Amino acid sequence: MWYKYLHKRVSLSNSTKCRIRLYHDDATFGYRVPTKYELPDYTQEELDNRNANAPLLRYVESVRRHGHRAAQIDPLDLMDRDPVGALNPSRYGLKDTQKYPLQGILHLPPSPEPTVPPSTAAPERTETGEGSDVTVSLEKIKKHLMEVYVDKIGFEYMHCPEKNERLWFSHHVETDASSFPRPFEKERQEHIWKLLMRSEELDKFLGKKFPNLKRYGCEGAESMLPALSSLFEVSAKSGISSIVLSLPHRGRLSLLCDPDLLNFSPKALFAKIKGKPEFDPTTAPGATGDVISHLSASRQIPFKSVEGEDRNVEVKILQNPSHLEAVNPVALGVTRAKQMELLKTSPTECQLGDKAMCVQLHGDAAFAGQGVVAESLGLSGLPHFGSGGTVHIIVNNNIGYTTPASLARSSVYSSDIAKMIGCPILHVNGDYPEAVSRAVDIAFRYRQMFRKDVVIDLICYRRWGHNELDEPAYTQPKMYEKIRARKSVPDLYETRLKQQDILSEESASKLRQEYTAYLEEQFSRMESYQPESNMLQVKWKNFVWPAESHADHNPDTGVDKQQLVEIAKASVTLPDNFNIHTRLKRHVASRLKSLDSKVDFATAEAMAFGSLMREGNDIRISGQDVGRGTFSQRHAMFVDQQTESCYIPLNQELGDSAGKLELANSSLSEMAVLGFEVGMSWSNPKLLPIWEAQFGDFMNGAQSMIDTFIVGAQAKWLKQSGIVMMLPHGYDGAGPEHSSCKVERFLQLSNDARTFDTHGEINLTFANPSTPAQLFHLLRRQMKRNYRRPLIIASPKGLLRSPLAASSLDEMTPGTTFQPILETSSSSSAKKVILCSGKHYYTLLEALSKSDKKSSSNISMVRIEELSPFPYSELERGLSKYKNMEEIIWAQEEPFNQGPWSYVKPRIEDVLDQIGYKGNIKYAGRKSGATTAVAVGEWHKKEVDEIIKAALY
């Protein structure tokens, strides 16, 4: 029968084939989706029985759909729960005195072996399930349904759009022993208690030794530890070798320090609390560190398979900011990067999620309230963002800070947002650790079967307030009256084990004392703690800290001209039978023709990508429409006009040993997609990850990701990242939200000091390249350096095809590099020097070409291509040759209160002081504005005329 296929992922017979979901770009590198299984429908006999016993079918389906509403899932019993009439069988005309056949309707668990000898009594049939012909009483049906659906776990899966998933769930929870309140084996129960006990003792110890510490303890939610322990174990035994774990503050210290989990040194924790750094400061100049609730750890946790084989799993907790849920997409990116390494080496055998898994813990208020949650869930099933299913655990306090659930969300459950992707949800009572472990087991089996996200809603409470120094009864008197009158979760479980003779009073007391003594011993040694430097290991072992003396800030990024030509040609080489769009034939011809003269930005970019790929690097560009480019300039991916098959020439034409280009056309998300790419960059230094905004202004939606992960990760967590943000920038009359990438924000976020020394400690690079060659060198430099640093590019719009901005191949050959400043060939006797950046140079150049020769001969222009780090030495050398300089101007197209002006002004003044210039630098640009730009064409033209006049005349 069909249900025999639901126990595990198997290769199905010809009558039960699996079908892969097809997308139009399924041949491109990095395209991966989970296998989708199509199982047989009900047999005719089952359908006949479902029709004949429709009232019973309605009753069973109602319990499956609504049972969670009556389940015993709230330890405080404070949830507003109305009577659930749908659970009453009398509503469906069912009679207690009648027996009903279950074929095609309901599963029963296998019956135990008969205790009465066969010779004296005939046992009941043991063949059970929707495919069997068993007939049972309504009383037994009701009892079974209540045990499964209205106990300590509330199942929500009937909203899942896939029939196969609903069938799997009903069969699994109605027949599997793990779904019922049968006792665990003694060893497992003792292990669960030790996890709970150690968490409680750690929190007590910290409260005693550090009474003023906000530790965000696990008290009230200790069941999250056996939940994670169970998840780690079943993952290891299923062949998963790597788990990427993200979580907020709550319970982090208990998870870190438990010897069976992350085994983080309590001595290191105590030293950090006392004010010592968590890293060796001599190896990381400029690092600031972070608070204890953001600490990270990694460990290979050992397990044994049933056969006794070693099955270790590496669990890595990511660092996180206090911007709740922001770490979610970063964790997805790290997991995807680990998975991609496997997909490259075994593309056919290795499926998504086989070896790497993402696990995310959430707070209930944050899960319901933070938009990044929805953005991240939206990535889960996308071919270039999925990683084989994430297990989510909501540590649900039914309160956010001091806000009750009724004011924190509009939905019934905090988990309801996950229904947007048809995600099954298991609500479980945190007072019952064994039920929590069972919920984890079921959730993991679902993830393994379907490789989709699944949510465990762990309903618990906070014994203290938002932190241990808070008084929650100010706003929640009734909730905390209940909490303060009840035993702790570890105490409740300890009592149950004592009643079962699993644990004695003496052994429990002894184990508590031993763990407290261990913590005391660690506390006594904290002054001697010396942190290790572990920032650059494994894949990062050949990289250096950017402030080190042997950091190579400006490597040779030139490439042999013949190679450049080969790569440029390869980038537009298509199969003979490929049906290219008619208008793109001109694009191909133009690229080939330009190789004889000067190339545009798209060609230079393709040459940068191809040359890096030939050197063994992978490239990944994500964003909306990145395959063709927002301005139809890139066309790195071609779509056959008849078959819609896709072709990425650089992946096919550079040889098998080359790296790969992944074009990840993304959902309409900024924050989650950018965070995802940050995670990719953390995991793989041989990958060039690029996030491209449709317009630079759109990075606004990712501002918190920029602030917390891109700008500060190196200083806070010693994390290097080669992430590139390409943000189209330039004023061309498009008005607000389509003109500026907010240059001023990135420059404000730069820690660039006003010094002429090297800038090894700087946290980001911000560049505004005005030629294709400059873009070429920037991209190559990002990978050729022996360290990684975020690169923000104010990328061009109107210059993409401009012949004025084109570059010759000679500007990209060996011996050439990126130039922080570019100068015109004007005479050094010029009396006026105009400093500017980016596209505005060409606006001024065109105006200058139309002015009289006498005026133009007295003006020289210098472009600052790299604003952060500020090119002090280069600018000093450039300006010192203008001995007759009488006037120096900063010209920009952005408003006075925006753009680079406030950043460059004091730095240019430093340079002018250095060369002995006594005058002041003047400003030539738009007036201060509340918006980025005007949206009236006539006004825009008038502003352009005014800022040109202010600069040139």
pLDDT digits (tens, 9 = 90+) for 651-664: 998 988 899 999 99
Establish whether the linkage from the previous residue to 869 is cis, with ω within 30° of 0.
Answer: yes
- For 692-736, what is each residue's pLDDT tens digit? 999 999 999 999 999 999 999 999 999 999 999 999 999 999 999
User: How many of the other CB atoms lie within 10 Å of CB of 620?
Assistant: 26
Burial class (CB in 10 A: 0-12, 13-18, 19+), 410: exposed
Q: How far apart are CA 912 and CA 921, in angstroms?
A: 9
Average of per-residue pLDDT across 760-786: 96
Q: How far apart are CA 147 and CA 604, in angstroms?
A: 66
Check residue 452 and give its pLDDT: 95
Q: Using DSSP, state whether 308 is helix, strand or coil.
A: coil
Quick one: pLDDT band at residue 349, thresholds 50, 70, 90? low
The amino acid present at 263, given as its one-letter code, is: N
CA 443 vs. chain centroid, Å, equals 21
DSSP bridge partners of 361: 393
Check residue 430 and give its pLDDT: 97
The number of CA neighbours under 13 Å toward the Cβ of 519 is 24
Q: Are strands 313-317 and 297-301 parallel, antiparallel or unpaired?
A: antiparallel
Q: 3-state SS string over 755-805?
A: CCCCCCCCCCEEECCCCHHHHHHHHHHHHHCCCCCCEEECCCCCCCCCHHH
Q: What is the DSSP letter of 304?
A: B
Residue 29 has pLDDT above 70, yes or no: yes
User: How many of the other CB atoms lie within 10 Å of CB of 482?
Assistant: 15
Q: Using DSSP, state whether 381 is helix, strand or coil.
A: coil
Check residue 123 and give its pLDDT: 38
User: How many of the other CB atoms lie within 10 Å of CB of 588?
Assistant: 18
The number of CA neighbours under 13 Å toward the Cβ of 117 is 2
pLDDT higher for 874 or 116? Answer: 874
- For 610-641, what is each residue's pLDDT tens digit? 999 999 999 999 999 999 999 999 999 999 99
245's enclosing H/E stretch is strand 242-246
Average pLDDT of the chain, as a whole number: 90
Check residue 758 and give its pLDDT: 59
* pTM, full prediction: 0.94
Average of per-residue pLDDT across 568-578: 95
Residues with Cβ within 8 Å of residue 499, at least 6 apart in sequence:
none
Give Cα separations from 437 to 852, 936, 945 (angstroms): 82, 62, 70
pLDDT higher for 37 or 871? Answer: 871
Rg (CA), the chain: 32
Instruction: Look up residue 836 and give its two tokens.
Output: 């500017």
Instruction: Look up residue 780 and give its two tokens.
Output: 């190559």
Check residue 245 and give its pLDDT: 98
Residue 124 has pLDDT above 50, yes or no: no
Residue 418 has pLDDT above 50, yes or no: yes
Strands (E) located in 650-790: 661-665, 687-692, 724-726, 765-767
Average of per-residue pLDDT across 479-487: 93
535 within 8 A of 279, measured Cβ to Cβ: yes
In 3D, which of 63, 232, 30 has the Cα closest to residue 156?
Answer: 63
Average of per-residue pLDDT across 817-830: 87
Check residue 118 and give its pLDDT: 44
DSSP bridge partners of 691: 622, 725
Q: How far apart are CA 71 and CA 411, in angstroms?
A: 18
pLDDT higher for 339 or 422? Answer: 422
Strands (E) located in 469-628: 618-623
Residue 848 has pLDDT above 80, yes or no: yes
Average of per-residue pLDDT across 235-257: 95
Residue 16 has pLDDT above 60, yes or no: no
- For 887-944, what is each residue's pLDDT tens digit? 999 999 999 999 999 999 999 999 999 999 999 999 999 999 999 999 999 999 999 9
Average of per-residue pLDDT across 216-232: 96
790 within 8 A of 777, measured Cβ to Cβ: no
- For 156-175, what is each residue's pLDDT tens digit? 999 999 999 999 999 999 98
Q: How far apart are CA 943 and CA 925, in angstroms?
A: 9
Check residue 407 and give its pLDDT: 87
Q: Using DSSP, state whether 459 is helix, strand or coil.
A: strand
pLDDT higher for 795 or 657? Answer: 795
Check residue 15 and give its pLDDT: 35
Burial class (CB in 10 A: 0-12, 13-18, 19+), 225: buried
Give Cα separations from 635 to 80, 102, 304 (angstroms): 55, 58, 51
- For 324-337, what is each residue's pLDDT tens digit? 999 999 999 999 99
In 3D, which of 793, 889, 788 has the Cα closest to residue 834?
Answer: 889
Check residue 1 and give its pLDDT: 43
Check residue 119 and give its pLDDT: 43
Check residue 112 and give its pLDDT: 57
Average of per-residue pLDDT across 47-55: 96
Average of per-residue pLDDT across 334-344: 85
Check residue 818 and give its pLDDT: 98
Question: Looking at 746-750, 757-761, 907-911, 932-936, which range is the least confident one?
Answer: 757-761
Measured in degrees and rounded to the nearest 5, phi and psi for residue 313 equal -135, 130
Check residue 132 and give its pLDDT: 56
Check residue 130 and give its pLDDT: 52
Average of per-residue pLDDT across 574-603: 93
Check residue 133 and give its pLDDT: 66
Average of per-residue pLDDT across 599-619: 97
